[in-house]
Structures are given as C-alpha cells and as structure tokens.
Amino acid sequence: MSADLQTRRPDRGSSRRQFIAGTSSILGAAVIGSSATSAWAAAQRDSAVIEPGARVPALVIGSGYGGSVAALRLAQAGVDVHIVEMGMAWDTPGTDGKIFANTTKPDYRSFWLRTRTKQPLSNFLGFPLDKDVPRYTGILDAEEMGGIIVYQGRGVGGGSLVNGGMAVTPRRENFGAVLPSVDPDEMYDVYYPRANAALGVSTIDPAWFETAACYQYARVGRKHAERSGFPFVFVPDVYDWDYMKQEAAGTVPKSALAAEILYGNNYGKKTLQKTYLAQANATGRVTVSPLHRVTTVTPASAGGYLVGIEQLDTGGAVTATKTVTADRVFFAAGSVGTSKLLVRLKATGALPGLNGEVGKGWGENGNVMCGRANHLWDPTGALQSSIPTAGIDNWAAGGAFAEVAPLPTGIETFASFYLSITKNPHRAQFSWNAATGKVELNWQTSWKQPSIDMAKSIFDRINAKEGTIYRTDLFGAYKIWGDHLTYHPLGGAVLDRATDNYGRLHGHSGLYVVDGALIPGNASVNPFVTITALAERNIEEIIAADL
C-alpha cells in the first residue's frame, strides 16, 4: 500500500522534487537559501494528505527534529513514510506577504488556538504586553501544564520553526548525566558530527561579531561575564551568518535584524524545512499531512497498528476523522506530545503492554530567565539580532549555562537579558486523570528554586561587580525571575527505561520513540542537537536490525 501513497502524488511533483534534490545534495556544511522555502512549499502542495483506510509502512507522528531524522533515514533506506503533523504547513504568505508574523507584532499566526497571546516576556517597563488575537492554528503553543507553561512549535518543522536556532553540543564531560546508557564515543565521533552537518550548524565570524552593531548586547554580556571571571563562549547556530551580514548591509529582506523569533523566521534561519525535511522530500518517499492530529494508536488484528487521526481546520475544529494502518509507528510528537499520547494509550487500554516508566522522568532543562539593568553609560544597542550567539558557561562551578539573549525592542533598553539552562534536579511525571479524561503533569512551581539559585551564581556576582541590579519589569510587576516557563521540555519516555536503548517501546514491537521524550529531563545545553544526534543513532540501529 505504500504505492498507494505514491500514486496519489500528482506527476508534476517530480520535476520540483528533482529541483529540491539538486539543492539539498549540498546539505550538510552548506547553507540553503530562501529558495529552499519555496521549493519546500511546492513539494508540500504536491504532497497528498493521508486518506482514510490507507496502509503505510512507516507513520511518523510529528515533524520536529526526531520525526524529520526518522523520516529522512527511513526513506533513504527505501521505506515509504507518512508524517502526520498537527500544525500547519507554513508555506503560504499571510495578508502582509510574509509567512510568519513579527515578534514585536504578534497576530493570528502567532499562537496555537488562543484568543489572547501568552508572550514569554509578559511585561515591559511595567506594562502588560499580551493582546487579543483571533483563534487560529498558529505557530507557538503556550501549553499550560501543572505549574509550568511549556512553549512548543506547531507546524511542519516542529520546534525548528520558532526556536533561536542555538545548536549546542554538550561538553563531553557532561554527557554521562545527559544520556547515561549511551556510549559517548559513538555520539561524539559519529552522531553529533552527523547531526551538526545535516542541520547546517556554524559559528559567527568572530571578526564580524566584534564590529556588528546588532551584537553590541552580546559584547556587553561578554564584558560583564569576563570582568566577573566567568568563561565566555560563542554559541553555534543554524542561522545563515552570511545572510545576516547582508541584512546588516541592507541588501536583502531582514529577518534576524527585523526581530523575527518565536513566531517564525521568514528568511535566514535554516529550519528543518530547509534541511532534513527538504532532503526527505527529495527522496520521493515521504508525504506529510499537516493539520492532522494523531489521537490513538492500537494494535491491528491483522498486524501493524491502527492509527486514529483527526483532521483540523485553522480554527482548530475537527473536520474529519480517519483511521489508517501502519506497519510501524514512530512517536515524534515532542516530549509533551509523545508523553501525553503514550500515558493515555496505556491508561485507556489501547497500548496495554507499555511499561510503568511511560510518563516518568520529565524535566524542563532547568530553564530560567532574567534581565539586568545596566548603567546609562553601558548601552546594549537599539538594533539587536534576534539570534543569540554568546553564552556564559558556569555549569561546572555553579550548575548554570546562561545565554546572552536579545531584547529586540527597537529601542535602547540598557538591559542585559539571559536565558539560563541549569542543573535542576527535579523531575515530574505525566499521569492519566480518568475523571477529566486528561493527562496531567505534577510539576511544582517551587521546583524552580534550584534553577534560580544556580542562575544567581552568575548574576549576583556580575551585579555586585558592575554595581547593577536585576530588572523587575519583564515577567510581571516586581518579578525578577522568568521561572514560570520552559522552552526545552525533555523526557517522559526515557531511553533505556520506557524504551530499550534505541527507542523501541517495551511491550509492543514496531513502536518507537524518536524525539526529546527520550532524554531524561536535562541536556546541560539547548537540546535540539542532542535530540537530532540521538535520533540519528537510534534510527540507524532500527533500520539495520528491524527493517
């Protein structure tokens, strides 16, 4: 039945697929320009959504990092793949001619099924920033779980659509705590390099960094870090640095220098649409159903799995329900999405063989934010690139890795802003509430205190040295710490516990977890390179041994 999927694709797609093949063959070290976005869009329009009753060899739930790696490598191994993605394709310009909304002007495209924005920075100079927006299947989900708001990307490309593109490989000495059951040698020799190449990771030109007006905020961050004796590091990214230089020169449409982040990036960021998914499309074996949400997975009597799917309209209403059959199912709905699905499917008897580890080991990568108020003689710049490139590494001494983050307001704020990743030891659990029919998370608000203490190990010292104070106007009235959220959900179907050491779920053969749910709560740095590298490692073994 894989031929079924393929024959539904119109023939006119082949020439476009060849074009993508041509551009994506240089993937890895090379940058794919904005033409890849239109190539992606063309391929998407040619791709047929899944029909009720279809049978597919491999069904991937979600199109973020784990899902994109699995789809590409399975397709390259000759397996036809269908990706089911609950968010939109993000291939069509809106009324302003752009696909994605600007961070400073959130609109209907910005939030997943909300009537009011829920911005991570809720206030500025004491004024609340949130505003009413039309309910729409927008790009950023601010999912309110117990005690924490979990921000996630929604759409073809998952978190790559909304994130800052910071592409950080953990220090090798920290890896044992990140993935204790994985051989570091194979990760650092093979899979991290493979992931970094395929994602198009690179580091800013240090000479340009020293002079670019848009990185004055980062240079101020470095100066303050170094004067207090903290190690300063450049943070690699998937942004096209040459494109950013052209933005600064005024020769191309602006993206990073137009404050684009959180709600999508129109030009310079190499999202998964331009990297893994473009390559996957080029194989001719991968199709995608956007605005389709998987609701159930249960064994089929004749083998394989019955997968229940809801088709959504852009208002979030269910317009159709479908059941398809898949020989193998790859859970790549993100840490929260995969965990919620698995916990519900186990509790309701759809997948009774899953073990008791499902739902456990969830963490928020110790995320905590703060701002500092600098002196008036220490401006951070009115123009700030939305792509961070600098960090303060105090992991070994104080348990915190802090990124010098932008505050791209367009005006001089005299503020330094930071996102810290900390060694928070707390882990939460997802569980099924039969009364409400919902999966709940038992994260406690007070569990952020260790993260705050670790972040203070950096910023109390810098404030003392510089004679500066914390900003209190960014997260509410007189609130210093952005401790109510995470951008980095991890865990819930932990490797070698809920699954075997390669992501095969215990209890049901042919079911796999390939996303951030595998990582037990903390990656010591921003997580997507580790998610990608782990997916590369696991899918290689699965293809070799199971297919």
**Contacting positions for ligand FAE (CB under 6 A):** 61-67, 84-87, 151-155, 158-159, 162-166, 262, 293-294, 332-335, 337, 341, 487-488, 515-516, 526-528, 531
Residue among 85, 143, 403, 536 flagged as catalytic: 403
End-to-end Cα, the chain, rounded Å: 17
Smaller CB distance to ligand FAE: residue 335 or 394? Answer: 335
The least CB distance from residue 429 to ligand FAE, in Å, is 18
Smaller CB distance to ligand FAE: residue 75 or 387? Answer: 387
Smaller CB distance to ligand FAE: residue 238 or 282? Answer: 238
Smaller CB distance to ligand FAE: residue 285 or 293? Answer: 293
- 55 Cβ partners below 8 Å, 6+ apart? 1, 2, 4, 304, 324, 325, 326, 327
The least CB distance from residue 14 to ligand FAE, in Å, is 27
Residue among 82, 426, 488, 508 flagged as catalytic: 488
The least CB distance from residue 468 to ligand FAE, in Å, is 26
The helix/strand/coil state of 441 is strand
Question: What's the longest Cα–Cα distance across the chain?
Answer: 73
The least CB distance from residue 264 to ligand FAE, in Å, is 11
User: Which ranges of 47-188 would DSSP assign to H, the alpha helix?
Assistant: 65-76, 175-178, 184-186
Element housing 516 (H / E): none
Strand pairing report for 286-289 and 81-84 = parallel
Tokens of 268: 């310079």
Known active-site residue 466: no
Nearest by Cα to 225 from 446, 391, 102: 391
Tell me which DSSP letter residue 498 carries: T
The least CB distance from residue 379 to ligand FAE, in Å, is 25
Known active-site residue 403: yes
The least CB distance from residue 283 to ligand FAE, in Å, is 19
Rg (CA), the chain: 22
Q: Is 492 left (phi over 0), alpha (psi -120 to 50) or beta?
A: left
Smaller CB distance to ligand FAE: residue 209 or 276? Answer: 276
The helix/strand/coil state of 30 is strand
Smaller CB distance to ligand FAE: residue 248 or 336? Answer: 336
Cα distances (angstroms) measured from residue 219 to each of 416, 418, 421: 10, 13, 20
The span from the CA of 73 to the CA of 58, in Å, is: 12
Q: What residues are labeled active site?
A: 403, 488
